[in-house]
């Protein structure tokens, strides 16, 4: 169950890459999706706004974009805005 974690247009620190990959792997295991590959890209609001405009014709940031894959063994790609995730966490008193 490979999980590839990267930064969209910026580099990630190793601890963050490891943390996100481990959480994603645990989630896939809990969902019994251990035989698939998942890609996770972390970005900021500017990066996700650009992707949201390109793919959904919406000129605004969002928290997550998902791109399912129609190939055996490939679950898909997730793009997460760290900026929006932090705002949502603060609003919900999460860390």
pLDDT digits (tens, 9 = 90+) for 3-43: 999 888 778 889 989 999 999 999 999 999 889 999 999 99
- pTM (predicted TM-score): 0.86
For residue 24 the two structure tokens come to 């994603």
Q: How confident is the model at residue 51 (pLDDT cuts 50, 70, 90)?
A: very high
Residue 31 Cα to chain centre, angstroms: 17
């Amino acid at each position: 169950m490979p999980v590839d974690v990267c930064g969209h247009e910026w580099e990630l620190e190793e601890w963050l890459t490891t943390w996100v990959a481990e959480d994603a792997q645990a989630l896939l295991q809990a969902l019994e999706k251990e035989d698939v590959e998942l890609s996770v890209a972390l970005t900021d609001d500017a990066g996700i706004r650009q992707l949201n405009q390109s793919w959904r014709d919406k000129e605004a940031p969002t928290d997550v974009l998902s791109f399912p894959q129609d190939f055996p063994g490939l679950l898909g790609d997730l793009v997460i805005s760290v900026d929006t995730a932090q705002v949502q966490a603060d609003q919900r008193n999460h860390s």
